[in-house]
Amino acid sequence: MHKEKQGFGDSAIATLNTNAISAEELGVHGHYHVVCRDKAGNIKWEEEFPNLVVAAGKELMLNTLLRTSGTYTTVGPFLGLTNATLTPAATDTMTTLVGGGYEFINYTVGASAVRGTAVFAAATSSGSTPSNVTTSTAASITYTITGAGGTVYGCFLVTGSGAVSTQSSTAGTLYSEGNFATAKITTAGDTVSVTYSTTATS
């Protein structure tokens, strides 16, 4: 007797290919461009260096953009100079920076012994996709060195509620800070011009 065996089998493979949408990442960066000239206007030194946008600065930025109800009034921002070698940390505040005695104050801005006010131009964007670069740059601030002059180590930017242009004040929110690669010497009569730019990339 012949026995016939039959086998039936179904096999199916389904493949779905989609274009994955990646989560957009936002990075906030900035840098200081500093030029020192002597009394005759000759350049003594020039340097551009990156900054650290500290945690308090990022919190202020997001809170005022996304959380604050009504209209937020910009305070400052005010740009100061530092007088010591510092290691920027995300946890830094005006209390740890200026309260520690690290602000350089032998200068005037517009004949007054105050921090310079950073006046930012409207932001501009590269408009590209997916990588986009949006930048805003403040007008250059000129600091005229007075007294015994001294060594300048870097810059910082303070803003937020309570911020003031008063030298050595710890009021306000520290937004960013940065250091020169090497400390810079200044003498009375020198002018130090500082330009700050901030960039958001995605």
pLDDT digits (tens, 9 = 90+) for 28-41: 788 999 999 999 99
Digit-coded pLDDT (tens) for 119-175: 999 989 887 777 788 889 999 999 999 999 999 999 999 999 999 999 999 999 999
**Dmax over Cα atoms in the chain, in whole Å?**
118
DSSP state of 166: B
Q: Is the pLDDT assigned to residue 15 strictly greater than 90? A: no
pLDDT given for residue 11 in this prediction: 38
pTM over 0.85: no
Mean pLDDT confidence for 97-108: 96
- Written as one letter, the residue type at 84 is A
pLDDT of 14 higher than 90: no
Rounded Cα distance between 82 and 13, Å, is 66
Residue 181, pLDDT above cutoff 70:
yes
- Average pLDDT for 95-115: 96
Q: Please choose, from the candidates 58, 65, 156, 70, the residue with its C-alpha nearest in 3D space to the C-alpha of residue 105.
A: 156
Burial grade of 127 (CB within 10 A; 0-12, 13-18, 19 or more):
exposed
Q: Cα-Cα-Cα-Cα dihedral of 125, 34, 177, 76, to 10°? A: -70
pLDDT, average across residues 185-200: 95
